[in-house]
Every structure is written in structure tokens, then in C-alpha cells.
Structure 1
Amino acid sequence: MSELVAKLTGATKYYGKKKILDNIDIELPYGKILGLIGPSGSGKTTTIKCLMGMEKLDGGNAQIFNTEIPNRKILNEIGYMGQSDALYESLTARENLAFFGNLMGLKGDDLKQAIEKNMRLVNLESKLDNIVNTFSGGMKRRLSLAITLLSNPDFIILDEPTVGIDPSLRKDIWKQLNQLTEANKSIIVTTHVMGEAERCDYIGLIVEGRLFTMGTPQELKTKFDVDSIEEVFIKAEAEVQA
């Protein structure tokens, strides 16, 4: 692989006596999308939180931008969208964007242009001055994504970003994510939508806290002798349970 933006080596994590992550190794080059798939509770979210230093590893180590994690300065340079929407619901969408944009160091015309660009991406430009508590769940996810992308980060981590978003808009968002990699941005995304996984450069399948397999979509389909990533998922689960 080329120069790496992120690396997990031997990542192991316990909650009490229960092993949540079991010796996970992940490498992500610049300009690529890594999709993490797996059953609910398999460890996908814990993996990305450990990579970012939001959860402490019990074994192994994490690096981002060739820097050991945890590191608060590096964390500020990452665009992160969690499963829960961290929004101020009594404020308008514009006020939320301005608040978070200011925290990222954006001001004046730079902030204005970033707000307009990313609200167009998520098809919410007409809702800029609406109070967020009037938004549907899908609209809040789209607003959260716009906030995540405001500062144009080089490394973006998205935990199930398209939950509640209709298929046509999901397609537009993925088109934009793929365009970001053309600008050498790197992305990790967790998803339950196998069609989305097909659009990633690499896919890591996490089952019961272990990285069961990892490779390009075509490599995984060839390895498991199937025609889709959904079939890879089903076949891998069957092997684990056997």
C-alpha cells in the first residue's frame, strides 16, 4: 500500500472481562474509502473510536497522520460523524453550522461558502433557516454530515452516515464521497447497506470483534466465490457460526 493516513495494529479492547476487539489490524492509504461492515454489535463503532483515541485500547496501538493516538490535536483535524446527531435542536440549521464552523476555525466568507457548498450536497439549502427540532431523523443525519465536512478535513470517519436517508440522495452523497477521494481525502465509513460497501475501495468485515476478512470488493467476491458483498457477508457469518 501507499503512504498511510491511518493504521491500527493488534487493536484489542475489553469491556470488563468481555473482549470486544480481538487483535484487529487495519491500514488505510490516502485517497481511499474503507467500508467496515458486520452484524450489529460486532465491534465496528468501537474500532473507529479506538482508532481516534475516543476509546482506550487494552492492547495494540493506533496511528493517524503518522502520529500515535490518542492525540487531541490530531483529533481536531479529523471529520467525525457519530451514530448520534450532536445538534442544537433549538437553533436553526444555519446557526448550528456557524457554531461548529467557528469551532473549526472557519470565519467570514470561508464559513459562508462552506455552509452553502455542504448544504447543497445534502440537499438542505432551502432549510438553512429552519429550527432543527422540526427536522426529520433523515434531515438531521444530512445536517450532521454537512457539519462534518465543513472544514474540508483530509480524514473523514462516518459511522452509518446514511441511516434514514432516501436512496436517491444516498447515491448523490456517495458520489460526493468518491469525489473527495479524488482530492486525496481518506474516508472510513461503517454501513449496513451492502450496496454502499460495493462503492468502497476496501471492505473490512468485522464479526464478533475480529477482522474476519479485508480486501477490495472484487477480491472478497472472488475469495468467497460469490457475486455480491451481501453474499460475502452471509457466507462469512455462516462460517463463523459453523
Structure 2
Amino acid sequence: MTGTSASSSAAIEIHELNVRRGGAPALRDVTLAIPRGTVTGLLGPSGCGKTTLMRCIVGTQIVESGTVTLLGRPAGAAALRRRIGYVTQAPSVYLDLTIRDNVRYFASLYGRGNDAVADTIEAVGLTTHTHHRAGDLSGGQLGRVSLACALVAQPELLVLDEPTVGLDPVLRAELWEHFASLAAAGTTLLVSSHVMDEADHCENLLLLRDGRLLAHVPPDELRRRTDKANLEEAFLSLIREHQVGVQP
């Protein structure tokens, strides 16, 4: 496993994290540090531990051992609630409210004004649906409303669990541009995906397999290390290398 060393500039610091779910290991000795103001991709196949790791980071997962520190405080600390945004795979919105009212509600919790509401709804491509009830939207649209409710708070750390699933290529590209602009303004983003072609939008990649962190590297470094131009092929090469390494 490869990880970066912890430092005072890290938004996320994890040391020797172990988690069991259903009696089986879900995360194994994960150690990493993510710098502030960056976009980091969390990649790997379904069931590899991505969502479990994110739950550990936002403080909703019981851990067996290890430490998770966010913005200098232990994960789950009350002081972090206004500083961290989390978007799950399942939409978390009020179905009886309109898109605008959902986003306005979350904006009010964080003292954001109407300009922030309008800008955020535009960022997720829902301006023409502002007055539609959330309960009348498609699954993909509901996901975008959940994303808007997190974005409008302008958190210091934003954790996104596969936010681009079900979106068309144009909107996916626009969202990644928005993520980059947030990072440039100082927000730290951790974005999970099982789509390798999104990896090039990230400054660094966390590659998980069977609960283990195989690598924490920039996309170009992964290509160089595996001598593969295609990132999906590079990841597969890394997995094969790991499998050989763990054989008795």
C-alpha cells in the first residue's frame, strides 16, 4: 500500500484504519493524507470499500481500530458539522418541497443568501426545473438536488459518493469543472467513482481493492508506474501486481 505522509496542511488524515462489516474486513490498514484545496478521486470496483471509507471520514461508521482526523479534529466531532458536506448515493431531499425550497432550506442553515441558491441550482443544471417538486423528478435529477443542497453550504470539505452516476456527459463535464473551481477557492473534495475516465479530473487518486489502498498517486504517476496510457488498464495492471504480491 502507498500513502502520503500526514501534515498540518492535510484536510483528511487517516492512520492504520481498520473496519469490519458483517464480521468481514471492509477496510484494512488504510493510511493516507489528503491536502486542503484539492480534488481527490476515490476509485475502485463496487464492494471495494469506497462508501465505508467515506462513512468513516464523515463520522458515521464504527471503526475497529485506527484514527481519522478532519481539518484537525477527530471524525464525528460536533465542531465539524458545519464544515463538512456529504452527498450519499441515495438522494437525501424533501420530496414535498420544490428544488428551490430544498436548496433554500439548506442554505438558511448555513447563512447563505438567495444568490448562492440560484448559483448552486445552475451549477447542477436544474435552473429550468427550479419550481418542480422533488417528488416529481427522475432519479438522476434527485441526485443533483442532493448535490446542490450540499454545495450551497460551501463546506471546507466536501465528500461525494458517486455524484455523477446517471448524468449525461455534458453535465458530468460541467460538474467536474465546478469541482475544480471549488478546489481552487480552497474547498477540499473527495469524490468516489467506479468510472475510470473521470480519474483525469482529479489531482490525486486513491485506488481501493478489497478494502486495501493500493495506491495514492496523481493520474500521470499511475500511468508512469504501470507503463499504461489508459487509466483503466493502469488500474488493472496495479491489481494484478498486488495479487502477485499477496500470494503465499
TM-score by length of 2: 0.91
SS at structure 1 position matched to 2:91: coil
- Residue in 2 that maps onto 1:47: 53
* Deviation at residue 16 of structure 1 after TM alignment: 4.1
Once residues 10 and 70 of structure 1 are traced to their aligned partners in structure 2, the CA distance between those partners, rounded to angstroms, is 18
Give yes or no for contact 2:82–2:110 (8 Å, CA) kept in 1: no
- Residue in 2 that maps onto 1:192: 194
- Residue in 2 that maps onto 1:32: 38
* Deviation at residue 148 of structure 1 after TM alignment: 0.8
CA deviations 1:133-163 (Å, max 9, x no partner) are 2211111111111111111111111000001
Moved over 6 A (4+): none
1:62 aligns with 2:68: yes
> What letter corresponds to residue 173 of structure 1 in structure 2?
L
- CA RMSD, aligned part only? 1.5
- Residue in 1 that maps onto 2:214: 212
Residues 16 and 130 (structure 1 numbering): CA distance in 2 closer, same or farther, change over 3 Å?
closer
Once residues 84 and 115 of structure 1 are traced to their aligned partners in structure 2, the CA distance between those partners, rounded to angstroms, is 22
State which of 124, 135, 138 in structure 2 corresponds to 1:136: 138
1:105 aligns with 2:110: yes
Aligned-pair identity (%):
31
Structure 2 unaligned regions, length at least 5: none
CA deviations 1:92-133 (Å, max 9, x no partner) are 11121122223x332xxx421111000111111121111112
SS at structure 2 position matched to 1:219: helix
Moved more, 141-150 or 160-169: 141-150
CA deviations 1:158-203 (Å, max 9, x no partner) are 0000011100011011011111111121100001121211110100
- Residue in 1 that maps onto 2:77: 71
Residues 176 and 240 (structure 1 numbering): CA distance in 2 closer, same or farther, change over 3 Å?
same
Once residues 13 and 92 of structure 2 are traced to their aligned partners in structure 1, the CA distance between those partners, rounded to angstroms, is 27
CA deviations 1:190-217 (Å, max 9, x no partner) are 0112121111010011000000111111
Once residues 128 and 222 of structure 1 are traced to their aligned partners in structure 2, the CA distance between those partners, rounded to angstroms, is 45
1:222-241 equivalences in 2 (<5 Å): 222-241=224-243
How many residue pairs match? The answer is: 238
